[in-house]
Every structure is written in C-alpha cells, then in structure tokens.
C-alpha cells in the first residue's frame, strides 16, 4: 500500500484531485460501456465504478480552493 493510500484511508476515503467534470465524464463513460457489457459481473462492476465516480464528483464540487491547495501541498508531493 502506498503511503498516499494509507493517508487517505485514515481520512476515511478518497479526496478527489480532479475537477468534478472529470469524474462526471468518467461516470458517464462507465455507464455507456456497461450498456454493452455481456456479463452481469462486468456490468455490475462498471456501474459500481460509475457510482464511485459520482461520489467523487459530488465531493469535488464541495471542495474549496483551500482544500485543494492543502491536498496538492501535502499529499501530491
């Protein structure tokens, strides 16, 4: 486990590092691919990924500039 993952885990989850639009696009793409999936397991995994991206997008929308600066300064380095 990378130290960043351990730090994020101790904070109780992932902190988005991209703008909300990035995660919204990823969620839409996962749903689009899920429509073409041929097995239930793959479709379920893609829809779970889309839901995760939706949660990250919602969190990214709530972050202030100060929060992003903190993350870049102390976690991205």
What is the tens place of the pLDDT at every residue in 18-73? 888 999 999 999 999 999 999 999 999 999 999 999 998 888 888 766 666 666 66
What is the per-residue DSSP string for 18-74?
S-HHHHHHHHHHHHHHHHH-SSHHHHHHHHHHHHHHHHHHHHHHH--HHHHHHHHHH
1 — pLDDT class (breaks 50, 70, 90):
very low
The structure's pTM equals: 0.65
Crossing angle between the packed helical segments 20-36 and 40-62, to the nearest 10 degrees: 170
């Amino acid at each position: 486990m990378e130290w960043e993952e351990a730090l994020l885990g101790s904070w109780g989850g992932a902190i988005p590092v991209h703008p909300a639009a990035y995660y919204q696009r990823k969620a839409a793409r996962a749903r689009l691919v899920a429509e073409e999936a041929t097995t239930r397991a793959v479709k379920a995994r893609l829809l779970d990924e889309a839901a995760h991206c939706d949660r990250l997008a919602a969190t990214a929308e709530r972050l202030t500039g100060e929060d992003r600066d903190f993350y870049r300064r102390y976690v991205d380095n």
